[in-house]
Amino acid sequence: MGRDLKTSAILAALLLALPGLVRAAEPKPAAIQPWMNVKLSPDRRADLVISRMTLDEEIALLHGDFPVFMPKRPPGVQISAGYVKGLARLGIPDLTESDASLGVANSLRSHDDATPLPSGLSLAATWDAKTAYAGGAMIGKEARQKGFNVLLAGGVNLLRDPRNGRNFEYLGEDPLLAGTLAGAAIRGIQSNHIVSATKHFALNDQETGRTVLSAEIDEAAFRESDLLAFEIAIESGHPGSVMCAYNRVGGIYACENPFLLNNVLRTDWKYPGWVMSDWGAVHGVAAAKAGLDQESGQQLDKKVFFDAPLKDAVTSGEVSEAQIHKMTHRVLRSMFAAGLFEHPLQVGGLDTTADSRVAARAGEQGIVLLRNQGRVLPLAASAGHILVIGGHADIGVISGGGSSQVIPTGSVKFPPPKGAPSWGGGQMYFPSAPLAAIKARAPNADVTFNDGADPAAAAVLAARADVVVVFATQWSSEGMDISLTLPDGQDGLISAVAAANPKTIVVLETAAPVLMPWREKTAGILEAWFPGARGGESIARVLFGEANPQGRLPVTFPASEAQLAHPVLPGADQAQVETMGAGAVTPKPFDVRYTEGSDVGYRGFAKSGDKPLYPFGFGLTYSSFRYSGLKVVGGKTLRASFTVTNTGARSAIDTPQFYLISGPSRTQERLIGWSKVDLKPGESRSVTVTAPRRMLANWDAKSHGWRLSGGTYKVAVGSDASALTLKGAAQVTATTLQP
C-alpha cells in the first residue's frame, strides 16, 4: 500500500513539532459587537457578524489548513488535524481542530500527553449513555486544555463489516445503540464549549478503496440503518459540525452529494450546523452548491477549491453570494451555539492522572465476558501459579492507529503485524501492563510471564501452571481493513496452550470480532477490545472480580467469513487501499452493493437463521438472571414491563434488551430499547422500557416519511439478540412521522 500524504505529514511533524500557543480572539462588549449579546439566538448572532463581513472574509472561514503542510505556519498554530483562521477584527476565534473520538490525538506532536479512552466498540459495549457522556466530557476538557475548540469526534459509521479497519472508532452495528451513545458522547464533548464533528457522513463503512468506492443502497434501507444512526446522534447530540466522507454514495462523492447534504441533512433533519469535508475529500467548487460548507485540510486536495476558485465561481454567478452567506452562517451559528465566542480557550491544567480514571471506568465497563466454564473466573487472589502469556501483557495494552491515535506518555510502539501496512504508525501499546495489575492482585500467587513467541515452549510452561491467562491482540488502523483471524499465528499459540492446560483464559484485545477456532478448548474468554489508558488495570479488575463484567457485544461475532453479508470484502482484489499521496497506486473505482439493506449484523442473522459465534447483545456476568412477567402496552408506541431477578450468588449488573420481532407489514428483528440493572443476589427489580416510535416504523420512500402501520407488533425481551426468553405482542396505532 502506498504511504499517503498524511503519513508523510506525521513523520515530518515528529521532527518539526513545537509546543503551540493559542491565540485568543478578543471579544468586545455587546455594545460594540452586538453579536456578543448572549441573549440573542445563535442564528441572529451569526447574521449580525456576517453583516459586517466582506466576501473575502466570509470565504476565508470556508476553508482551512492541515497545519503540517502550511508553507509558513504562523506562531501559535499547533500541528494538529486542522486550523481555520478566525477574524480578530470582529472577535471571531480561530477554529483549532484535533482528532478524534477516543481522545485528543497527538501522533503529530512529540512530547505531548493526552488521555485515551477505550475504543468505540468498548464504549458501545457498555450500553451506557452516561459512560459515553463522561468520556466525551473528559476528552472535550482535554481538548480545551490543549488549545483545541473543535474535536473531530462523534464517529458513528455503522458496523456493516467486522473487517472495516476503523470499526474501533465507531459504535457497533445497531443504529439505536450507536446513535444514542454517539449523541451522548457529543453532548459530553460540547459541554466544554467546544464543537464536536460527527463523521463520516455517510457509508464510509470500509477502508478498502474508501476514496474511490461508491456505496450503493436502497433509500429506505439507508434511512433505516446508517442514516438512522447519524439521525439519532445528531438530534440527541446537536454536534456543531458534520464531516462528510471520502467515498461516493450512489455514484456521487459524499462531500458533493446533494441527496446526503441538502436533502437528508438540511431539509429532512433540519440540521443547522456546518458540513466540513474529510481531509482530501473535496473535488471541486460544485460541492458548495451540493451542501458542503467548509473545505478541511485544504493542502490535501488537488486545489484549494474553497478559496480563489470559490470566489471566481461567485464572480461568474455559478455560486450565488447568498450561498456564501448561508455557508458562513452555518459555521458561525455553530460557533455561537457551542459558546466559542464567550469561552475563549485557556491552555493548561491538564491532569491525565485524574482523566485516566474516566478511561479506566469506561474500559472496565466495556469488557465482555464471553465464556466462563466451571466458573474459572473470577480468579482467586491465591490462585497458585498464574502463567500470563503473550500480547505484550508485560508492557501494556494495544490501541488503534491512524488519525485517531492518542499516545499517552510512556507508550511503546511495535511494528505493524506481518502483512499489515505501515501507515497508521505501528502498534502502540499504552503503559498499563496487565501483568503488573495481575501481580498486584495476587501477591501470594506465583505470577510468571512468557511472551508466547514459541507456542511449544509456552505450552510446556502452561502444563505446569494452575491457571493460564493468554493475551491475544489484533491491531487495526485507519487506511486498512483487517481479517477475522488473529494475526501473527496467535490462534496456534492459544490452541497449544489450551491443549496443555484446560484452565486457560483468553483475554482478547481486538479491534473488532475475531474467529476463535480454539474456543471449545478454553475455560474462559474476555473481550477487552482496545481498553484505553488504564486497560491493564481494567482487565485485572474484571479477572479478579473487583469489578463486575457487564459489557454486552455491540456487534455480532460471526462463526465464519461465509456468514458475512459480503464473504469477500468488496475491493479486496485492489492493489492497495489508500489513494492519496505521491507514489500511491490508485485503485479503480468500484461499487459496494449493500444488498443486505438494513439487515445489518444481528438483523441479517435473524433472517438467515445462521448461528453466530456470539450474538449481538451477548455478555455473561459472575451471576445469573431470570426475566419474568412481561407486560406489553401498545398505543402510540410499545412499552414493555418485566421483572429481572438476580438468581446467582453475587451482585451483578444485567442489561435486559427489548426487541421488535415483527410488525403488521414486516418481519425484522430490531433493538428497540434496553435497560441496565444492578442487583444483589436474590434481588428483583421491575423494569420498564419504552420503544422510540421511529424504531417501530419503516421508511416509506413514496410518502417520504416514517410509516408506522397500525396492527399487531410482536416483541421479545432477552439477554441478547438470540436469547429472547419473554415474548409478547400489542396493538400500535397507525401514524406517519415526519423525517
Verify binding: residue 500, ligand BGC, rule CB under 6 A.
no
Among 3, 199, 266, 371, binds ligand BGC (CB under 6 A): 199
* Distance in Å, CB of 403 to ligand BGC, minimum: 4
Q: Where are the beta strands (DSSP E) in 154-273?
A: 195-201, 214-216, 241-244, 248-249, 252-253
Query: How remote is the C-alpha of 125 from its chain's centroid?
Result: 11
Distance CA 380, CA 597 (A): 47
> Nearer to ligand BGC by C-beta: 128 or 578?
578
CB 188 within 8 A of CB 135: yes
* Distance in Å, CB of 577 to ligand BGC, minimum: 12
- Chain positions 616 to 675 lying near ligand BGC, rule: CB under 6 A, are none
Among 35, 168, 201, 279, binds ligand BGC (CB under 6 A): 279
* Coarse DSSP helix, strand, coil percentages of the chain, rounded to the nearest 5 percent: 30, 20, 50
Residue type, 673: G
How many residues of this chain bind ligand BGC (CB under 6 A)? 9
> Nearer to ligand BGC by C-beta: 276 or 507?
276
The 351-390 contact track toward ligand BGC, x by CB under 6 A, reads ----------------------------------------
* Distance in Å, CB of 152 to ligand BGC, minimum: 4
- Could you tell me how many helices (H) and strands (E) the chain has, helices first? 18, 31
Helix axes 352-365, 535-543, angle to 10 degrees: 40
CA angle 139, 142, 147 (to 5 degrees): 130
DSSP annotation of 496? H
* Distance in Å, CB of 423 to ligand BGC, minimum: 10
Verify binding: residue 81, ligand BGC, rule CB under 6 A.
yes
Would you list the DSSP string of 279-301? TT----THHHHHT--BB-SGGGS
* Distance in Å, CB of 419 to ligand BGC, minimum: 22
Which residue do the cell numbers 493559542 mark?
A: 22
Distance CA 412, CA 433 (A): 11
- Name the nearest CA neighbour of 662 among 730, 713, 707: 713
The 2-41 contact track toward ligand BGC, x by CB under 6 A, reads ----x-----------------------------------
* Distance in Å, CB of 99 to ligand BGC, minimum: 5
* Distance in Å, CB of 155 to ligand BGC, minimum: 7
> Nearer to ligand BGC by C-beta: 97 or 488?
97
* Distance in Å, CB of 479 to ligand BGC, minimum: 8
Verify binding: residue 578, ligand BGC, rule CB under 6 A.
no
Distance CA 622, CA 385 (A): 22
Distance CA 586, CA 208 (A): 12
* Distance in Å, CB of 93 to ligand BGC, minimum: 20
Torsion over CA: 64, 67, 73, 77 (sign): positive
Distance CA 574, CA 249 (A): 19
First-to-last CA distance in the chain? 41
- Name the nearest CA neighbour of 367 among 126, 686, 564: 126
* Distance in Å, CB of 98 to ligand BGC, minimum: 8
Query: In Å, what is the CA distance from 22 to each residue of 6, 97, 114, 149?
Result: 23, 12, 17, 10
> Nearer to ligand BGC by C-beta: 423 or 627?
423
* Distance in Å, CB of 216 to ligand BGC, minimum: 21
The 143-172 contact track toward ligand BGC, x by CB under 6 A, reads ---------x--------------------
* Distance in Å, CB of 480 to ligand BGC, minimum: 12
* Distance in Å, CB of 300 to ligand BGC, minimum: 8
Residue 196's DSSP bridge partners are 151
Half-sphere exposure of 401 (CA within 13 A, CB side): 27
Antiparallel, parallel or unpaired: β 591-593 and 214-216: parallel
Distance CA 585, CA 577 (A): 9
> In the structure grid, which three cell numbers stand for residue 117, read together?
479512552
> Nearer to ligand BGC by C-beta: 211 or 657?
211
* Distance in Å, CB of 402 to ligand BGC, minimum: 7
Among 58, 94, 161, 278, binds ligand BGC (CB under 6 A): 278
Torsion over CA: 332, 335, 338, 341 (sign): negative
Number of Cβ within 10 Å of residue 281's Cβ equals 28
> Nearer to ligand BGC by C-beta: 477 or 522?
477
> Nearer to ligand BGC by C-beta: 48 or 300?
300
Which residue do the cell numbers 480468579 mark?
A: 379
CB 116 within 8 A of CB 103: yes
> Nearer to ligand BGC by C-beta: 229 or 313?
229
> Nearer to ligand BGC by C-beta: 9 or 125?
9
Whole-angstrom Cα Rg for the chain: 25
* Distance in Å, CB of 124 to ligand BGC, minimum: 18
> Nearer to ligand BGC by C-beta: 199 or 694?
199
* Distance in Å, CB of 32 to ligand BGC, minimum: 36
* Distance in Å, CB of 580 to ligand BGC, minimum: 9
Element (H, E) at 737: strand 735-737
Distance CA 198, CA 73 (A): 27
Verify binding: residue 403, ligand BGC, rule CB under 6 A.
yes
> Nearer to ligand BGC by C-beta: 100 or 461?
100
Among 99, 173, 174, 720, binds ligand BGC (CB under 6 A): 99
Backbone phi and psi for residue 459, each to the nearest 5 degrees, phi listed first: -65, -40
Distance CA 220, CA 312 (A): 38
Half-sphere exposure of 476 (CA within 13 A, CB side): 30
> In the structure grid, which three cell numbers stand for residue 336, read together?
455561537
- Name the nearest CA neighbour of 404 among 532, 513, 293: 532
Which residue do the cell numbers 475504543 mark?
A: 119
Which residues of the chain form contacts with ligand BGC (CB under 6 A)? 6, 81, 99-100, 152, 199, 278-279, 403
